[in-house]
Structure formats: C-alpha cells, structure tokens
Amino acid sequence: MVSFILNDTLVESAEPEGTVLLDIIRYKQHLPGTKIGCREGDCGACTVLVGELKPLDSARGDRVEYRSMTSCLLALANVHGKHIVTVEGLNMEKLSPVQQAMVDESGTQCGFCTPGFVVSLSACCLSRERVTG
C-alpha cells in the first residue's frame, strides 16, 4: 500500500506501484486541474509539486522542500510518504500570487496548460535556488 498526502488529504492506494500519479489524481481522486497532455513528460500540463521532508540540522529541524514534476511519468511507488500538491491545492480564498500574476500579465492562451505553468511557477517561488536570467 502506498500512502501520501494529496493537497490536504491522506491517500492510501492499493493500485499497482507502477501506476502513474496522473491517473490516480484524475481518475481516483477526481481532480481535473492536472491535465492529460502528451503522457511523455514534455508538455507539462500534468505538473504537480512534490514535497519531501529534508533534514536541515539539529538546531533547525526539518523542512519540506518542493519541486515540480510531471505526474504522467511519476510512478505511484515514488510518491510514498510525500506531499503532492495539484493546482487545486494552490487555491486560496482569492488567487495565489502566481495565479494573480498570470491574470495581470495575460499569461494564458487556450488555458489547457495554464495549471502546469501555475504549478511550475509556484515551485520556482518556493525554491531556495537563486533565479537568474
């Protein structure tokens, strides 16, 4: 049995461990914001945040570090014990800062891949890496 937190819900799945996370998100958890695109990891429409507990040091404890991943290539076995955040999990009472920036800057076209962009940009904002360019 694989267990993980999806947005704010504990999920325990007995599906085969090779099942891709995208199928669990859409067909078992009924979260349609994570889109099915290429199923090859190229388009990014299925992007999710994957949070993993990382030790800092004895004085500061641990922290959860997030990175974006394409859920169409992510096997269920690889999310055991992790926190998965879909675009639905980024929702707040009002738009998140990334969502608001997308609106303010007219950052969408047809909108199909917009959830993937929002999740990827959110991962960039959560990252401790310096953004250049």
Domains and CATH numbers, the chain: 2-126 (3.10.20.30)
What sign for the dihedral angle of Cα 82, 84, 26, 113? Answer: negative
Burial class (CB in 10 A: 0-12, 13-18, 19+), 85: buried
Please give the residue that has the higher pLDDT: either 68 or 92: 68
What sign for the dihedral angle of Cα 123, 126, 129, 130? Answer: positive
Neighbouring-strand partners of residue 49:
68, 85
Residue 122 pLDDT: 94
Amino acid symbol at 132: T
Please give the residue that has the higher pLDDT: either 80 or 113: 80
Burial class (CB in 10 A: 0-12, 13-18, 19+), 94: exposed
With a cut of 70, say whether residue 45 has pLDDT above it: yes
The arithmetic mean of pLDDT across residues 16-26, rounded, is: 98
Please give the residue that has the higher pLDDT: either 77 or 114: 77
Percent of the chain past pLDDT 90, that is, above it, reads 72
With a cut of 70, say whether residue 133 has pLDDT above it: no
